[in-house]
Amino acid sequence: QTGIIAQYSNLCIEEENLAEFVETFRNGKIKGINVTLPHKEQIIPLLDDINPRANSIGAVNCVLKTNSTLIGYNTDWYGFSMLLKSNGIHADDKSCLIVGAGGVSKSVVYSLIQSGVKSITITNRTLNKAGKLVDHFKKISHHTELTSIPLDITKIEQLNPNIIINCTSVGMSPDFSHTPLPDYPFHSRQILVDTIYNPLKTQLMKDAENGNAKTINGMDMFIYQGLASLDLWLRMDISNQVKYKGLKDHLTQKLS
Ligand code: ATR
């Protein structure tokens, strides 16, 4: 759409090779990188500087190279905020449940605090990671109540959150049949956001649809974080130059 000649490709980097990769990136031709699971937190000490917002979030999903200086940014939080906006979700007075406590969860919690939600409860398979996230964000949250609970369906049923957001990798391709909330009884006054976009409809989304909840996948978050990354790398207002619908239709078709 923009006529810019550029290349973007994916690389699989094992955890033990991350530091070596960062040095190759620093000294090579690549201008910028996006960082995805499980490196969003581990990459921070390998960079030269962190943007203040990414520092508050504690996760980096985009790195900008200027000469050979590497600066970490977070565009995931913006991607999630735009997902809420573009789907007409007014989260301000809502109770939210975040499933997962990794890099994506941090960005989502930050975005929800910015939206001024009533409460955020974090649940995770490893409970102490959820507790650490709560402690981290309590420092910057003045109005939003933050708590953690075990990943237990009965406890989540009692909580009865307005919005449930899956920030785990459970259900992501090729793990199609799994869900992080097996047998959770969704209902029609709930909204489920799955930050996964591949597949476009996860098992969790199917379960939520069966309970007549509104469902949203992670495609809008994915696109908006990517556009914000392009704005940083190319130092241009790409996000306002592209036709969003054409982009979304193209990606949706590719993943269908
Ligand atoms: P990201 O940066 O994308 O958030 P991550 O940091 O690897 O990725 O986090 C993945 C999340 O998915 C974690 O919350 C993880 O739970 P643990 O902290 O207990 O590892 C969660 N997750 C991964 N596999 C899971 C599974 N089979 N059941 C429940 N949660 C799972």
Mean pLDDT of the chain: 96
Quickly count: other Cβ atoms within 10 Å of residue 154's Cβ.
9
Atom of ligand 1 nearest to the CA of 151: 29
pLDDT of 160 over the 90 cut: yes
Residue ID of nearest Cα to ligand 1 atom 3: 37
Best mutation site among 18, 44, 77, 125 for ligand 1 pocket (most ligand atoms within 8 Å of CB): 125
Give the pLDDT confidence score for residue 162 in this predicted structure. 98
- Catalytic residue of the set 29, 31, 40, 118: 40
d(CA 150, CA 157): 12
The answer to whether 127 and 153 are in contact (CB under 8 A) is: no
Which amino acid, one-letter code, is at 56?
S
Coil, strand or helix at 82: helix
Burial class for 179, CB neighbours closer than 10 Å (0-12, 13-18, 19+): buried
Comparing 142 with 230, the larger pLDDT belongs to 230
CA angle 77, 207, 247 (to 5 degrees): 45
Residue ID of nearest Cα to ligand 1 atom 2: 103
Name the pLDDT band for 37 (thresholds 50, 70, 90). Answer: confident
Give the pLDDT confidence score for residue 163 in this predicted structure. 98
The answer to whether 133 and 109 are in contact (CB under 8 A) is: yes
pLDDT digits (tens, 9 = 90+) for 90-99: 999 999 999 9
Q: Give 129 Cα–ligand 1 centroid separation in angstroms.
A: 10
Q: Which residues contact 5 (CB under 8 A, 6 or more apart)?
A: none
pLDDT of 87 over the 90 cut: yes
pLDDT of 7 over the 90 cut: yes
pLDDT digits (tens, 9 = 90+) for 46-85: 999 999 999 999 999 999 999 999 999 999 999 999 999 9
Cα→Cα distances 125→80, 177, 185, 221, Å:
22, 18, 19, 24
Query: What residues are in contact with ligand 1 under a 6 Å CB criterion?
Result: 37-38, 40, 100-105, 124-126, 129, 167-170, 180
Q: Give 93 Cα–ligand 1 centroid separation in angstroms.
A: 27
Residue ID of nearest Cα to ligand 1 atom 25: 170
pLDDT of 146 over the 90 cut: yes
Q: For tokens 């939210």, name the residue.
A: 96
Q: Give 205 Cα–ligand 1 centroid separation in angstroms.
A: 18
Peptide bond into 180 cis (omega under 30): no
Integer distance in angstroms from the first to the last C-alpha of the chain?
22
Q: Over pLDDT 70: what percentage of the chain? A: 100
Name the pLDDT band for 142 (thresholds 50, 70, 90). Answer: confident
pLDDT of 9 over the 90 cut: yes
Residue ID of nearest Cα to ligand 1 atom 18: 126
Residue ID of nearest Cα to ligand 1 atom 7: 38
Atom of ligand 1 nearest to the CA of 126: 19
Coil, strand or helix at 186: coil
pLDDT of 184 over the 90 cut: yes
pLDDT of 103 over the 90 cut: no
Which amino acid, one-letter code, is at 243?
K
Q: For residue 113, what are its two tokens?
A: 């605090």
The answer to whether 138 and 110 are in contact (CB under 8 A) is: no
- Of 152, 120, 149, whose CA–CA distance to 137 is shortest? 120
Atom of ligand 1 nearest to the CA of 125: 19
Q: Is 40 a catalytic residue?
A: yes
Q: Give 101 Cα–ligand 1 centroid separation in angstroms.
A: 7
